[in-house]
Structure 1
Amino acid sequence: MAGVLMIRMAHEKPVDYSVGKQVIITVGKAVQRLVTGRKDAYSMANEKMLAAYRQEKVPDSELNFFAVNPQHKGQGVGSFLLATAVKDLHDQEIYLYTDSFCSYQFYDHRGFEQFAASPLSIEIGSRKVNMTAFLYRRHFETLK
C-alpha cells in the first residue's frame, strides 16, 4: 500500500458497527483510560487548540488519519491522496492535528493555515521529548 487518508465528515452518518465491534471499541477505550489514568499532554493540547478553533470557525470535516508509506515519500502519493479526498469539499472547513515529528510542512505547501501551535514535553519510554503539536485548517471554496 502506498498510503491512506481518512476524513471524518461532520454531517455524514457514522459507520454502523456490529454489536461485537462496538463492545471491542468500548472496552479498548476503557482499558486505555485505566492504563493512562488521565489524559496525556498531547491530547490535552489538541483539545485546547480545538476549543480555540471552534470559537472562530465551524468545522465541517476532520482529516483524522493520513499516512504515506516511507518507501513512496516524495513521489506525489500524499498530494494525490489529498487532492482526491478534497475534490468534492465545496464550501467546507476542514481541520487536522499534526506535530513536529510529522511532515507538517506538507500542509503549509497545500493551502492549509497553521491555526495554533502548542509546545509540549512528552514521555517516550523513560525519556522526555520536546515537541510541538499543531492544529491546521483550510476552507475549501465553492467552485464557480
Structure 2
Amino acid sequence: MRISNTPRLKLKWTQRCYTTLGRHVIALGSYAGESKQYDQVNQQMYLEFGELVPSAEITLFAVDPALTGHHIGSRLLHAFEQYASHELIYLYTDSDCNYPFYFKRQFNVLAQRKIHLDENDPASAALTCFLLYKQL
C-alpha cells in the first residue's frame, strides 16, 4: 500500500532482490505480453481520474485462501482505512480476483475494461479489469 507524502518503507536487501527477481521473471516469461497489456489497460483507466488525484493506492492485497472466512482481509483493510483516513484511495483488480470483496466495502468502480490476455486467440476468455476507488 502506498500513500502520498509519507516516507517509503525501507526494504531489506533480500526483499528488494525478491521483488526485482519477480519483475524479471515476468518480463522474460510467457506472461510478458499479458503483463504489458494489463499494465497498459490500468494506465488508461487511471486517466479517468482526470484532475482528481488520489493520494493512496492499494498495490497488493492478498490473504491465503486457506484462511477464508476468518475476516483477515476485512481487518487488514479496516486497519489501512484507519491509517489513511480522509484520503482518496484506489486499487486495480480484475475478474479473476475476489473483486466483490471491495464492493461489499463500499468501493466504487471508476473504470472497467475487458481484455483478452491471449491476443492470438480471440475466443479466449475475457478478463475484466477494474479501477476501484473510495473516499475515506
Superposed counterparts of 1:43-122, under 5 Å = 43-53=39-49, 55-122=50-117
**Do the aligned partners of residues 101 and 52 (structure 1) sit closer, same or farther apart at CA in structure 2, a change above 3 Å counting?**
same
- For residues 15 and 75 of structure 1, the distance between their equivalents in structure 2, rounded to whole angstroms, comes to 28
Q: Any gaps of 5 or more consecutive residues in structure 2? A: none
Query: How many aligned positions are there?
Result: 132
Alignment counterpart, residue 124 of structure 2, candidates 107, 128, 131: 128
| 1:71 CA displacement | 1.2
- For residues 129 and 99 of structure 2, the distance between their equivalents in structure 1, rounded to whole angstroms, comes to 10
Normalised to the residue count of structure 2, the TM-score between the two structures is 0.78
Q: Any gaps of 5 or more consecutive residues in structure 1? A: 1-6
What is the CA deviation profile of residues 48-93 of structure 1, one whole-angstrom value per residue up to 9, with x for unaligned ones?
011222x142111100111111111122111111111211222200
Which has the larger share of strand?
Answer: 1
- For residues 52 and 58 of structure 1, the distance between their equivalents in structure 2, rounded to whole angstroms, comes to 10
What is the CA deviation profile of residues 18-71 of structure 1, one whole-angstrom value per residue up to 9, with x for unaligned ones?
789768866875675566479622111101011222x14211110011111111
- For residues 101 and 14 of structure 2, the distance between their equivalents in structure 1, rounded to whole angstroms, comes to 38
Normalised to the residue count of structure 1, the TM-score between the two structures is 0.74
Q: Does 1:11 align with 2:5?
A: yes
CA RMSD of aligned residues (A): 2.9
- For residues 25 and 66 of structure 2, the distance between their equivalents in structure 1, rounded to whole angstroms, comes to 34
